[in-house]
Amino acid sequence: MSNRLIAALLALLALAGCARAPEVHPALWLVEGPKGEKAWLFGTIHALPAPVEWRSAKVDAALKAADRLVLEVADITDDAKTAKAFADLAQSPGLPPLEARVQPALRDDLAEDLAAGGLKPGSLDPYETWAAALMLQNAAAAAGDNDSGNGIDRAIALAWRGPIEEFEGARAQLAIFDALPEAEQRALLDAVLIEADGREVQLRDLEQAWATGNMDLIARVTDEDFAKAPALREELLVGRNRAWLGKLEAMLAGGARPFVAVGAAHLAGRDGLPAMLAARGWKVTRLQ
């Protein structure tokens, strides 16, 4: 084999190595019951800058043993369906301008976030406060490196070949935000604006924590985010976890062996699903 051909092959191998997605090891638990019941809990992240290799021998073994995949939203890949659900809920007539719905001290931040997200002043005025908050957050993510197309819940849904069930669904999930009292919606919007300056750094820290299964850091950041908004914590995190716990226990009682893949924050700390399950007598073992 000529030196030139060897060099070309080595170059191709180097390129292939560069293109390989980095490996990550998100948190994974096994849940067991007294009658042989089994479930697996896997922490996901909804957006990433680039694809990653999330599968490992332990994750593959769990997927092989499971008989169904359970996501927050079963149709996670159906963007049109999610967009329609959002459009149906997001607007109401007669709303005050969005600027009037934020604290005076945050109005400059609102203007900056609109500009950074490529949104015109006043363009979010027809939207309810919760919807405007999510749109600002999504616009900031789109302007940055993160892409929901690289989200792990989406990747798992595409890789799975069996039945998929859901804890909420897109419409029900958005309806949780839609049902928030206006004061809590405004607290959510304020939080989005306040966090804007440090959002990129926090996102990178959380991505690293997720990739390494550092649930202590995820729990700490979650606690900090909700420290001044206990009502929001109950509505957006704890209450949802409690509802999911009931659905998961019903599945196990019916003989199902679910692989549950949900946002890692729902699995972290004292209010996470692993802690809730352990408190109810299930054997919960961290596998990864």
Res. 1: pLDDT tops 50: no
- Ordered strands of the 283-286 beta sheet: 164-166, 68-71, 258-263, 38-44, 28-32, 283-286
Task: Average the pLDDT over each of 35-39, 139-143, 197-201, 212-216 and give the range with the smallest value.
Answer: 197-201
Secondary structure (DSSP) of 89-151: HHB-TTPPPGGGGS-GGGHHHHHHHHHHTT--TTTTTTB-HHHHHHHHHHHHHHHSS-BGGG-
Res. 216: pLDDT tops 70: yes
pLDDT > 90 in the chain, percent: 67
Q: Is the dihedral of CA 68, 69, 74, 77 positive or negative?
A: negative
> What's residue 79's pLDDT?
87
pLDDT in tens, 119-138: 899 999 999 999 999 999 88
Res. 275: pLDDT tops 80: yes
* Residue 136, CA atoms < 13 Å, CB-side half-sphere: 30
Residue 227 in tokens: 């420290």
Confidence label for 28 from pLDDT (cuts 50, 70 and 90): very high
> What's residue 12's pLDDT?
46
pLDDT, mean over the chain: 88
Mean pLDDT of 83-108: 93
Mean pLDDT of 29-48: 95
- Regarding beta strands 283-286 and 28-32, do their DSSP bridges make them parallel or antiparallel, or are they unpaired? antiparallel
Res. 18: pLDDT tops 80: no
Residue scoring higher pLDDT (64 or 19): 64
Mean pLDDT of 2-24: 54
Confidence label for 195 from pLDDT (cuts 50, 70 and 90): confident
> What's residue 13's pLDDT?
45
3-state secondary structure of 160: coil
Mean pLDDT of 163-177: 93
> What's residue 285's pLDDT?
98
> What's residue 77's pLDDT?
86
pTM above 0.75, yes or no: yes
pLDDT in tens, 239-267: 999 999 999 999 999 999 999 999 999 99
Mean pLDDT of 267-275: 96
